[in-house]
Structure 1
Amino acid sequence: MKSIVKQDSITGEDIQLSFTDYGAGRPVVLIHGWPLSKEMWEYQVDDLVSAGLRVITYDRRGFGHSARPWQGYDYDSLTEDLKDIMEQLDLRDTVLVGFSMGGGEAVRYLSRYGSERVSQLVMISAVPPFLAKTPNNPDGVDQNVFEDIMANLKEDRIGFLDDFGKKFFGVGFMNHPVSAPLLDYYRMLASVASPRATQQWAISFAQTDFRADVQAINVPTLIIHGDADETVPIKSSSDRTAAIISGSQYLVFEDAPHGLFYTHKEKLNRDLITFITSA
């Protein structure tokens, strides 16, 4: 495990960002979702490296082994962190792969910093173009859903994470796509995150409007989403994103929940490698 240290452009404080860097060849940056960490990509890294790719994963600020500042939990700060990783590692011809809230990070990066270092984009179960329902975004998710998340995080964060994990992976009375020990493991990964970061990022991914960012995408794009996703409903997110990005490839995974990076890992990995290596 490695890290870079950067200076926050607003507060001036040093921000340490933890990352891993495996393999050789074309770089693929895997951007994790909320409220997990870079370890969520365990079942993708080996297949991607074996396909001849260089794979970089990192913990965004407030999660995993990265710094836990009190401020800076907005998407502009987040994409500045990504920019610093890209520049310090001198990544070029890069594939950005954003899962869930990480999809917002990827499109905001391209909107702010352009595609000089990026040649392809993949969004998996991603939150763009705009998740929250507002007067000018009637197809979004009701605000009371996010209010309940915040209330539960403040009342009993670990209890919320336990319930959230079951919904995340589509666990039900008759459906157990994830073992109990693995659910415990993912809950542990989420519990390690800063409590403040967990709350602040929940506000950011719900309330950030990415519609202009999505419209600015000018690289080949693959969009993947499960039609059984109860965490980021497909009709409020990827259905709309796919309609905005001209020429994008859109793959809908039948019966897949939000956490399809595990439940549908074999299919996901094949589709990722096909998209990346066919360019």
Structure 2
Amino acid sequence: MFFQTHDGTRLAYEDHGQGEVVVLAASAMLSADMWEYQIPFLVRNGYRCVALDRRGHGRSDRPSGGYDLDTCADDLAALIEHLDLRDVTLAGHSMGGAETVRYLARHGADRVRRAALISATVPCLLRRDDNPQGLPPEAAEASLAALDDDRPGWLARQAQAFFATHLGNAVSPAMIEHTVRMCLATSPWAVRECQRSVLAADLRPDLATLALPLLVVHGAADMSAPVHLTGRRIAELVPHADYREYPTAGHGLYYSHRAELNAELLAFLKG
């Protein structure tokens, strides 16, 4: 299914099941297909799942602009308004988590009951004067340069760390290959622009506005969104958040720790 955003971009989404609505926002580079192991589980448990392909991703249009967090959050709002969804649970992985937080800051929580941030790139990744533990800007630029130089090679090098297979997580070579293929299917322009948007973001002021129930799930071995800059910081800045940290999980815990994550999501929805 498709709808048009305010700037005329045609975005794809999936809509499965009936009941209370969960809107799923995917990671940068990944499409709605990443939720393959969450959507059937939630539908079987009586929930309706709506999953968006971000612009430049999956089946959506691939425009040259609109990959900043404000526009991506507005795209999420446009989907929710298009379907006239109410009492929504927003669940975002990685950049999808950043979009979730920015959506709530820009559009409020009138249509949203609760939110879940999964391996989210929130609140602030880069080193700043008031964020001395952040990633050095030169290291971030080096990673972006490596991505620009050889995107398939960059993805291949990141794949094992993405799932933290070195810690014994059972992830097949086929699943790793499938994930890399999904990333390679994304617009190269969108990949680079999304990476830059995530690195430039400072969502600390946005987090300060959150008053709704919040679940935060993060892996201690996450190399893409280091936990001391993201999950643990969210828990500090939003004291009422329900924070869950998985000792052996990397960034791809939506698959490697799918049973635990699904149980956390279901308990959060029922709570």
TM-score (norm 2): 0.97
Q: Determine if the alignment matches structure 1 residue 56 to structure 2 residue 54.
A: no
State yes or no: 1:167 paired with 2:166: no
CA–CA distance in 2 between the matches of 1:194 and 1:56? 22
Distance 2:84 2:262 in 1: 25
SS, match of residue 236 in structure 1: coil
Which residue type is aligned with residue 205 of structure 2?
A: A
Contact 1:74-1:204 within 8 A present in 2 as well: yes
Residue in structure 2 matching 1:249, options 233, 242, 252: 242
Which digits, 9 at most, give the CA deviation of each residue in 1:220-246, with x for residues without a partner?
000011111111110011111111113
Does residue 205 of the first structure (1) align with residue 204 of the second (2)? no
Q: Which residue of 2 aligns with 1:122?
A: 116
Partner of 1:228: 221
Q: What corresponds to 1:216 in structure 2?
A: 209
Describe how 1:251-266 pairs up with structure 2 within 5 A: 251-266=244-259
- Residue in structure 1 matched with residue 5 of structure 2 by the alignment: 6
Q: Normalising by structure 1, what TM-score?
A: 0.94
Match in the other structure for 2:23: 29
Per-residue CA distance 1:217-275 (angstroms, 9 max, x = gap): 11100001111111111001111111111311011112111110001000100010000
Equivalent residues of 1:79, 1:106 under 8 A apart: yes
In 2, are the aligned partners of 1:227 and 1:256 still within 8 Å (CA)?
yes
Distance apart, 1:143 and its partner CA: 1.8
Amino-acid identity (%):
37
* Worse-matched range after superposition: 210-219 or 129-138: 129-138
Structure 1 residues 111-140: Cα deviation after superposition (integer angstroms, max 9, x where no partner): 011000001010011111111111221121
Spell out the pairing of 1:11-160 with structure 2 (5 A cutoff): 14-160=8-154
Aligned residue number for residue 277 of structure 1:
270
Report the counterpart of residue 238 of structure 1 in structure 2. 231
Contact 1:170 1:177 in 2 (8 A): no
Paired amino acid for 1:197: A
Q: Aligned residue for 1:194?
A: 187
Distance 1:62 1:245 in 2: 32
Moved more, 252-261 or 144-153: 144-153
Q: Which amino acid aligns with 1:5?
A: Q
Q: 1: CA distance between counterparts of 2:139 and 2:165? A: 19
Unaligned segments of structure 2, at least 5 residues? none
114-123 vs 160-169, which deviates more? 160-169
**Structure 1 residue ranges, 4+ long, deviating more than 6 angstroms after superposition:** none
State the 1:7 CA deviation. Answer: 2.8
Count the aligned residue pairs: 271
Q: Distance in 1 between matches of 2:92 and 2:134?
A: 20
Cα RMSD (Å): 1.2
Letter aligned with residue 270 of structure 2: T
